Amino acid sequence: MKVGIIGLPGSGKTTVFNAITGANAEVHAFSGAAGAEPNLGIVPVPDERQNWLSALYKPKKTTFATVEIVDVAGMVPGQSKKDGFSPQLIQHLRQVDALVHVVRSFTDPAIPHPDGSVDPLRDAEIMELELILADLSVVEKRLEKLDQEIQRKKGPELTTAEAEKEILARVKELLTNETPLRQVTLSEEELKIVRGYTFLSQKPLLLVANIDEGEIGKTDSATLTRLSPFATAKGAPLLAFCAKTEMEIAQLDESERVDFLSALGIEESGRDRLVKAAYQLLNVIPFFTVGEDEVKAWTITAGTPAQEAARKIHSDIARGFIRAEVAAFDALKECGSWHNAKEKGLVRLEGKEYVVANGDCINFRFAV
Ligand SMILES: Nc1nc2c(ncn2[C@@H]2O[C@H](COP(=O)(O)OP(=O)(O)OP(=O)(O)O)[C@@H](O)[C@H]2O)c(=O)[nH]1
Ligand SMILES: [Mg+2]
């Protein structure tokens, strides 16, 4: 599961990346360098429930769910009107499952903005349009090719080509009206065709307003007030994040970090909120396996049945699946132990088809 960081040059992408990963990748005053190698990081997804489970089981190992973060080079606006984002950038972005768009909202006059002024809404709109234009250029090229193919083809091949044309024509109309595909509900048939194109505007998007230090913790800040109607209209969650401060926090050691956050009156670091939000974008949920050896979070697509969830752990467990013993996290916490939960009848025996819920603690019974 991969999340790509996008944004205009100098919006703070690499600073956000460093804040999230605790890495120390180079930040520039301004580069926008095309072809620069992306920064890659894998980060654990914090989950208080898992901390609670670890305190209960005191396992040798606690393994959190993870997300992969990719920080690409800054994109230069206007490029997609000609040939799309740079080919390297497109290549990287096609492979990610979701996008985090870093919007410059910090005012620091020492850092020039490529457009000469700081205006988060304008920048958010520019990027949204770039995503749409990149998709539109793919659709238009394909439609041209399809027209030629339709003239040559016969029988079932012709029917398939015509069906694709119809769907892409609808997609084109949506994009032309500046509707990002993430906001459109597509039928199964449409999805099947559309999936192969890995459209950028179809990927779930999180807007991250990279705010000034002074705006930290303010829910009614000028930036949020300005950006939130846009975010709502585009189906994108919005998060305020001060990349500079968060990067400094990420470089502290654990105890210093706790002191620092409590001095700021913050319970949860922006980093933790951002990583959780990025994970949630992916339409996945965690379930837990618990025990004295390991407390571990496993990531599955929402709606996955128990037998498929078991396959995540080992194909033998899926093959020899008998039953899943399931305790919802809240029930387990309420009861204080697996034993108590069982006594109260809160450990359920579920079959193959049971749809695993977020936070289920599962013990799979299997025989091979
Ligand atoms: N004051 C302030 N400066 C910031 C903040 N975030 C980033 N910067 C500065 O802005 C400059 C650009 O930050 P980067 O993280 O390199 O931006 P980028 O989007 O990765 O830039 P490119 O990769 O060149 O497109 C650096 O000098 C950062 O130190 C912030 O929250 N506040
Ligand atoms: Mg950068």
Does 18 contact ligand 1 (Cβ within 6 A)? Answer: no
Nearest residue (CA) to ligand 1, atom 14: 12
Nearest residue (CA) to ligand 1, atom 24: 31
Crossing angle of the two packed helices 13-21 and 243-250, in degrees rounded to 10? 30
Pocket test for ligand 1, best of 5, 28, 113 (most atoms within 8 A of CB): 28
Cα–Cα distance, 291 to 252 (Å, whole number): 31
Does 22 contact ligand 1 (Cβ within 6 A)? Answer: no
Does 74 contact ligand 1 (Cβ within 6 A)? Answer: yes
Which pair of tokens denotes residue 346? 């809160």
- Residue 107 Cα: closest atom of ligand 1: 1
Q: Is the sign of the CA dihedral 114, 115, 118, 123 positive or negative?
A: negative
Q: What angle do CA 205, 361, 68 make, to 5 degrees?
A: 30
Cα–Cα distance, 337 to 339 (Å, whole number): 5
pLDDT band at 153 (very low <50, low <70, confident <90, very high): confident
Cα–Cα distance, 171 to 181 (Å, whole number): 8
Contact 3, 70 (CB under 8 A): yes
**Around Cβ 208, how many Cβ atoms within 10 Å?**
26
Contact 137, 80 (CB under 8 A): yes
Contact 168, 146 (CB under 8 A): yes
Cα–Cα distance, 307 to 309 (Å, whole number): 5
CA atoms within 13 A on the CB side of 300: 23
Which ligand is closest to the CA of 110, given by its number?
1
pLDDT by residue (tens digit) across 67-90?
A: 999 987 656 555 544 444 677 777
Range 150-161 average pLDDT: 90
Query: How far, in Å, is the centroid of ligand 1 from the Cα of 57?
Result: 42
pLDDT by residue (tens digit) across 237-277?
A: 999 999 999 998 888 888 888 888 888 777 788 899 999 99
Given a cut of 60, whether residue 32 has pLDDT beyond it is no
Query: How far, in Å, is the centroid of ligand 2 from the Cα of 12?
Result: 7
Which ligand is closest to the CA of 32, given by its number?
1
- In eight-state DSSP terms, residue 350 is E
Range 215-230 average pLDDT: 89
Q: What is the pLDDT of residue 77?
A: 56
Does 28 contact ligand 1 (Cβ within 6 A)? Answer: yes
Q: Computed over its alpha carbons, how large is the radius of gyration of the chain?
A: 23
Does 210 contact ligand 1 (Cβ within 6 A)? Answer: yes
Structural domains of the chain in order of their starting residue, each with its CATH number: 2-46+64-113+203-281 (3.40.50.300), 131-201 (1.10.150.300), 303-366 (3.10.20.30)
Cα–Cα distance, 184 to 175 (Å, whole number): 10
Please state, in angstroms and as integers, the Cα–Cα distance from residue 338 to each residue in 66, 285, 342, 357, following that order: 26, 22, 6, 18
Q: How far apart are the first and last CA of the chain?
A: 30
Query: How far, in Å, is the centroid of ligand 1 from the Cα of 79?
Result: 21
Contact 73, 27 (CB under 8 A): no
Strand, coil or helix: 63? strand
- Residue 18 Cα: closest atom of ligand 1: 15
pLDDT by residue (tens digit) across 328-342?
A: 999 999 999 999 999
Query: How far, in Å, is the centroid of ligand 1 from the Cα of 27?
Result: 6
In sequence order, the β-bridge partners of residue 103 are 209
Q: What is the pLDDT of residue 258?
A: 84
Query: Whose structure tokens read 């099947």?
Result: 192
Kindly report the backbone phi and psi dihedral angles of residue 209, in degrees, each rounded to the nearest multiple of 5, phi listed first: -85, 115
Pocket test for ligand 1, best of 8, 14, 251 (most atoms within 8 A of CB): 14
**Around Cβ 157, how many Cβ atoms within 10 Å?**
12
Does 242 contact ligand 1 (Cβ within 6 A)? Answer: yes
Does 31 contact ligand 1 (Cβ within 6 A)? Answer: yes
Q: What is the pLDDT of residue 181?
A: 95
Q: What is the pLDDT of residue 267?
A: 77
Q: What is the pLDDT of residue 206?
A: 97
Contact 19, 243 (CB under 8 A): yes
Q: By mean pLDDT, which of 27-36, 42-51, 300-309 is the weakest?
A: 27-36
Given a cut of 60, whether residue 354 has pLDDT beyond it is yes
